[in-house]
Amino acid sequence: MKSAVESLNPTRVKLSVEVPFDELKPSLDAAYKKISQQISVPGFRKGRVPTAIIDQRVGRNTVLVEAVNDALPELYSKALDENDITPLSRPELQVDDIADGTTLAFTAELDVLPKIELPEYHGLEASVEELSVKDSDVDEQLENLRQRFGTLHPVERPAQTGDFVTIDLAATKDGEPITDAQAAGMSYQIGSGTMLEGLDGALDGLSAGEEATFESTLVGGEYRDQPVDVTVKVTAVKEQELPELDDEFAQTASEFDTVEELRADLRDQVTRSARLTQAAAARDAVLEKLLSVVDVPLPDGAVEDEKSSRSQQLSEQLSYAGMSMTEFLESEGQTPDEFDEQLDTRVREAMVAQFVLDQIAQVEQMGVDESDLTQQLMRRAQQAGVSPEQYVKLAMDNNHLPEIIGEVRRGKALAHLVESAVVKDGAGNVVELAMLLPDGTYAEPPEAGDEEEAPPVPATDAAADVVIASDYVVMADEAKQD
């Protein structure tokens, strides 16, 4: 077999292939066998019809066409390998006239992975905001902990902000009850603002057994975003009593003996979380810096395919949340054109990032071992809410393992970029990232003689794959929660 490549543009090629007729013999034999099992000829069992009889009954040309159709996928794949081509689209195949005993010739036009000239990517410079942990951040964590250990007591007085009330809700439109906007026995904290607009004001001052009517808009259903009348009835008022912030509380809520020890531990937790947030910002800043100095042409067809895939994925996520695409766009304050423009930008950014990181992984000869793959599968299973065994089976059944392996390699490439970069905060301090662990602590530097121990897994590696994630799927999940 001979093959040649003609570049049509930076992202599209024409592949020409010639195959000597004798190389088609295995496919010809398979074609005769297949046809032999499909036809009935008196005096011969199915599957045992001689080739000459098949030629007489169905025609030699029919056999040739069957053989070529059988051989084309493998021949095309072999030609890709021979010419080191990474396809990004399905090929547009053109097969010359098929003639008995002559060379088979065909061409394939397809979008391909563009050639990328990587700039110097070691020692990139980027900046992030200065890490800051305030006393108020620790106080907020302490208050949240007190809230968790608070107790509710019924009170014989009008409800006020901060109280927990049990309520019944009933919405009407032009005096007619709205069936899917009725609820009873709901618990709600006044002032939280997590339900209908106007509810907090209506509840303030109501006692158990009293009700009030207010105007609001519904967030879903037939009357979504339309003004309706809502009647709220209070059936119980409870006051939350928070525990005193003393050593006894510290002993009840934690393993510490004193409030000061508990406060110190919460400060450490807040600090570790802030480090991880800063590391994520550093990762994004370094990648953004690299992508700003590299030019990667993208095939429009591949971009459109990815946009279509993401739109379909978003639609499925929205359907689970009980929303239509129209409702989603209204909630985001976007027109269809604005959504398409934003999606196009995000897809192009993600594709460029993927191609560049793949190239770096190849240059640095980064592999994926069993441990790397297992960790990624465990993370994905946890995100999907299924067991690792179920997720592995699903990935294998749908041939997703190559995709997952690619994600791991890109994660390693991005971690390599970040760890070799010079990242400074707003005060000009160098941000230490190479030794930062996924829990926000720093690994101890190896002592003399410990060089053979396995290096720590940096936080930048553990979270690197999220950079290629679909933002709109995340937005759909948030819409579902809302």
Taking Cα atoms as reference points, which of 236, 126, 216 lies closest to residue 172? Answer: 216
Rounded to an integer, what distance in angstroms lies between the CA atom of residue 276 and that of residue 162?
33
pLDDT of residue 331: 80
If you average pLDDT over residues 377-392, what whole number do you get? Answer: 89
pLDDT tens track for 148-195:
999 999 999 999 999 999 999 999 999 899 988 899 999 999 999 888
- The 3-state DSSP class for residue 223 equals coil
What percent of the chain is predicted at pLDDT more than 70? Answer: 92
Backbone angles phi, psi at 167, to 5 degrees: -135, 155
Task: Give 182 or 468, the one with higher predicted confidence.
Answer: 182
Q: pLDDT-derived band of residue 447, with 50, 70 and 90 as boundaries?
A: low
Rounded to an integer, what distance in angstroms lies between the CA atom of residue 137 and that of residue 113?
47
Cβ-count burial 105-139 (b if 16+ within 10 Å, e if not): ebbbebbbbbebeeeebeebebbbeebebeeeebe
Say how many C-beta atoms besides its own lie within 10 A of residue 481's C-beta: 7
> Is 452's pLDDT higher than 80?
no
Q: Which residues pair with residue 177 across a beta bridge?
A: 172
If you average pLDDT over residues 212-229, what whole number do you get? Answer: 86
pLDDT tens track for 417-437:
998 999 999 999 999 888 888
Task: Give 457 or 410, the one with higher predicted confidence.
Answer: 410
pLDDT of residue 157: 94
Residue 290 · residue 422 · CB < 8 Å: no
> Is 284's pLDDT higher than 50?
yes
* pTM confidence score: 0.72
Say how many C-beta atoms besides its own lie within 10 A of residue 355's C-beta: 20
pLDDT tens track for 331-381:
888 899 999 999 999 999 999 999 999 999 999 999 999 999 998 999 889
Q: Which residues pair with residue 9 across a beta bridge?
A: 12
Backbone angles phi, psi at 336, to 5 degrees: -55, -40
Q: Which residues pair with residue 168 across a beta bridge?
A: 233
* 8-state DSSP, 209: T
pLDDT of residue 414: 93
Least confident of 13-22, 244-253, 428-437: 428-437
pLDDT of residue 477: 36
Residue 17 · residue 76 · CB < 8 Å: yes
